[in-house]
Structure 1
Amino acid sequence: MPGQGFRPVFHPAGLDHALRHALQDLRAGRWGAMARLLDETAEAAATAGAGRWEGWTRRTQILATVAAGTDVVLAWRGEQPGSGPAAVMHGRVAVERAVRAHRAGHAHARALLQEAWTACREAAARAPADPVPWIGLLALAGCDARAPRAEHRVRPPAPMLPSGPWGLFAEIEKRDPHNREAYHRMLQFLHARGDGSVAEAVNYAQWAASTAPRGSALHALPLYVRVERYRRARGHEHALDLHWVAEDAVREARRAMDSWFLYCDVPEASQLDLNHLAHALFGALRFADAARVFEALGPYYTTAPWAHRTPRPADRALAEEVFLRARARCLSG
Structure 2
Amino acid sequence: MARDGARPAYDPAGHDTELRAALQEVRTGRWMSMRTLLERTTPWWQWTQRTQVLAAAAAGTDVVRAWLAEEPHSVPAAVMRARVAVERALRARRESHRRTHQLWIEAWDVSDAATRAAPRDPVPWICLLALAQLDRRQLWVEHRAAPPAPMLPAGPWGLLAEADRRDPYNREAHHRMLQFLYAQASSERLAEAAGFAHHVAESAPPGSALHMLPLYVRVERYRRGGGRPAALDLHWVADDATREAGRAYEAWFERADPAERSPVDLNHLAHALWGALRFEDAARVFEAIGPYYTPLPWAYRAAEPGDRSEAAQIFLQARARSRSAAHGPDA
Under TM normalisation by the shorter chain, which class is it? Answer: over 0.9
* Deviation at residue 183 of structure 1 after TM alignment: 0.4
Question: Is residue 316 of structure 2 the alignment partner of residue 306 of structure 1?
Answer: no
Work out whether residues 201 and 214 of structure 2, in 8 Å CA contact, stay in contact via their aligned partners in 1.
Answer: yes
CA distance in 1: counterparts of 2:139 and 2:268, whole angstroms: 30
Q: Which residue of 2 aligns with 1:159?
A: 150
Q: Which residue of 2 aligns with 1:23?
A: 23
Question: Is residue 208 of structure 2 the alignment partner of residue 216 of structure 1?
Answer: yes
CA distance in 2: counterparts of 1:234 and 1:179, whole angstroms: 31
Q: What amino acid is the match of 2:108?
A: W
Q: Which residue of 2 aligns with 1:181?
A: 172
Can you list the C-alpha shifts for 1:295-323, whole angstroms capped at 9, x where unaligned?
Answer: 01110101100111122112111111111
* Deviation at residue 267 of structure 1 after TM alignment: 3.3
* Deviation at residue 67 of structure 1 after TM alignment: 0.4
Equivalent residue in structure 1 for 2:95, among 86, 95, 104: 104
Work out whether residues 233 and 240 of structure 1, in 8 Å CA contact, stay in contact via their aligned partners in 2.
Answer: no
Work out whether residues 14 and 267 of structure 1, in 8 Å CA contact, stay in contact via their aligned partners in 2.
Answer: no
Q: Which residue of 2 aligns with 1:6?
A: 6
Work out whether residues 76 and 86 of structure 1, in 8 Å CA contact, stay in contact via their aligned partners in 2.
Answer: yes
CA distance in 2: counterparts of 1:236 and 1:216, whole angstroms: 31
Can you list the C-alpha shifts for 1:53-92, whole angstroms capped at 9, x where unaligned?
Answer: 1000000000000000100000001111111100000000
Can you list the C-alpha shifts for 1:224-255, whole angstroms capped at 9, x where unaligned?
Answer: 00101111233477754321011111111111
Work out whether residues 18 and 37 of structure 1, in 8 Å CA contact, stay in contact via their aligned partners in 2.
Answer: yes
Question: Is residue 52 of structure 2 the alignment partner of residue 61 of structure 1?
Answer: yes
Question: Is residue 218 of structure 2 the alignment partner of residue 226 of structure 1?
Answer: yes
Greater shift, 190-199 or 212-221, is seen at 190-199
CA distance in 1: counterparts of 2:287 and 2:40, whole angstroms: 29
Q: What amino acid is the match of 2:168?
A: P
Q: What amino acid is the match of 1:287?
A: F
TM-score (norm. length: structure 2): 0.94
Equivalent residue in structure 1 for 2:71, among 69, 75, 80: 80
Q: What amino acid is the match of 2:35?
A: A
Work out whether residues 145 and 190 of structure 1, in 8 Å CA contact, stay in contact via their aligned partners in 2.
Answer: no
TM-score (norm. length: structure 1): 0.94
Superposition pairs of residues 237-256 of structure 1, within 5 angstroms: 239-256=231-248
Equivalent residue in structure 2 for 1:114, among 93, 100, 105: 105
Work out whether residues 146 and 192 of structure 1, in 8 Å CA contact, stay in contact via their aligned partners in 2.
Answer: no
CA shift in 2, pair 1:78/1:294, >3 Å: same
Which ranges in structure 2 are unaligned for 5 or more consecutive residues?
327-331
Q: Which residue of 2 aligns with 1:40?
A: 40
CA shift in 2, pair 1:235/1:175, >3 Å: closer
Equivalent residue in structure 2 for 1:278, among 235, 246, 270: 270
CA distance in 2: counterparts of 1:235 and 1:91, whole angstroms: 37
CA distance in 2: counterparts of 1:328 and 1:238, whole angstroms: 19
CA distance in 1: counterparts of 2:146 and 2:287, whole angstroms: 43
CA shift in 2, pair 1:68/1:288, >3 Å: same
* Deviation at residue 104 of structure 1 after TM alignment: 1.2
Greater shift, 155-164 or 229-238, is seen at 229-238
CA distance in 1: counterparts of 2:73 and 2:26, whole angstroms: 20
Q: What amino acid is the match of 1:72?
A: V
CA distance in 2: counterparts of 1:82 and 1:240, whole angstroms: 51
CA shift in 2, pair 1:274/1:148, >3 Å: farther
Identity, in percent, stands at: 60
Which ranges in structure 1 are unaligned for 5 or more consecutive residues?
46-52
Q: What amino acid is the match of 2:28?
A: A
Q: What amino acid is the match of 2:77?
A: A
Greater shift, 262-271 or 106-115, is seen at 262-271
CA distance in 2: counterparts of 1:220 and 1:262, whole angstroms: 12
CA distance in 1: counterparts of 2:303 and 2:279, whole angstroms: 24
Q: What amino acid is the match of 1:77?
A: L
Question: Is residue 114 of structure 2 the alignment partner of residue 123 of structure 1?
Answer: yes
Work out whether residues 82 and 114 of structure 2, in 8 Å CA contact, stay in contact via their aligned partners in 1.
Answer: yes
Superposition pairs of residues 125-144 of structure 1, within 5 angstroms: 125-144=116-135
* Deviation at residue 264 of structure 1 after TM alignment: 1.9
CA distance in 1: counterparts of 2:290 and 2:185, whole angstroms: 39
